[in-house]
């Protein structure tokens, strides 16, 4: 995927987030936003999968810990959804870990419990 394609898809992801937030409002459960975002991606013909298992590999051994990516868009960008008062460092560590473990380049930490969606979107890159 080219940098331009990444940026176009990233713009779509932000727009999907804003649309869902505008329609549903703040303060609902994360699972509600996840379902609404999945429907919005479907309506826009954007491939997205929810609750994608990310295995933990060490020296080619799969260890007994699986992580779940909330939404994986076009197999290229991961989304970690929250609906919390504030983003704390452990949430940032979570998305950074997912990016490193998966080898995915770009991810977004999206908190829906904000007055304006632009306050709730944080972009993370892994060797971009």
Predicted model pTM? 0.93
Binned at pLDDT 50, 70 and 90, residue 116 comes out as very high
Q: Tokens 């991606």 identify what position? A: 41
Q: Indicate the number of domains in the chain.
A: 1
DSSP string, 100-114: HHHT-SEEEEEE-SS
Binned at pLDDT 50, 70 and 90, residue 58 comes out as confident
Query: CATH number of the domain that 104 lies in?
Result: 3.40.1350
Residue 20's domain comprises 3-125
Q: What is the torsion angle, in degrees rounded to the nearest 10, for the CA atoms of residue 50, residue 46, residue 87 and residue 70? A: 10
User: What pLDDT does residue 2 have?
Assistant: 86
Binned at pLDDT 50, 70 and 90, residue 29 comes out as very high
State the Cα–Cα distance between residues 4 and 56, nearest whole angstrom.
31
Name the burial class of residue 79, with classes exposed (0-12), middle (13-18) and buried (19+) by CB atoms within 10 angstroms of its CB: buried
Residue 61 has pLDDT above 60, yes or no: yes
Q: What is the torsion angle, in degrees rounded to the nearest 10, for the CA atoms of residue 70, residue 28, residue 90 and residue 49? A: 0
* Structure tokens belonging to residue 35: 């379902």
């Amino acid at each position: 995927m080219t940098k331009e394609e990444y940026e176009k898809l990233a713009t779509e992801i932000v727009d999907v987030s804003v649309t869902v937030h505008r329609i549903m409002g703040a303060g609902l459960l994360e699972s509600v936003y996840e379902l609404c975002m999945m429907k919005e991606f479907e309506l826009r013909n954007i491939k997205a999968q929810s609750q994608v298992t990310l295995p933990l590999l060490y020296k080619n051994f799969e260890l007994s810990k699986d992580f779940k990516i909330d939404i994986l868009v076009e197999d290229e960008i991961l989304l970690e959804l929250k609906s919390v008062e504030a983003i704390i460092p452990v949430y940032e560590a979570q998305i950074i870990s997912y990016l490193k473990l998966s080898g995915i380049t770009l991810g977004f930490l999206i908190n829906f419990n904000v007055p304006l969606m632009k306050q709730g979107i944080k972009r993370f890159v892994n060797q971009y």
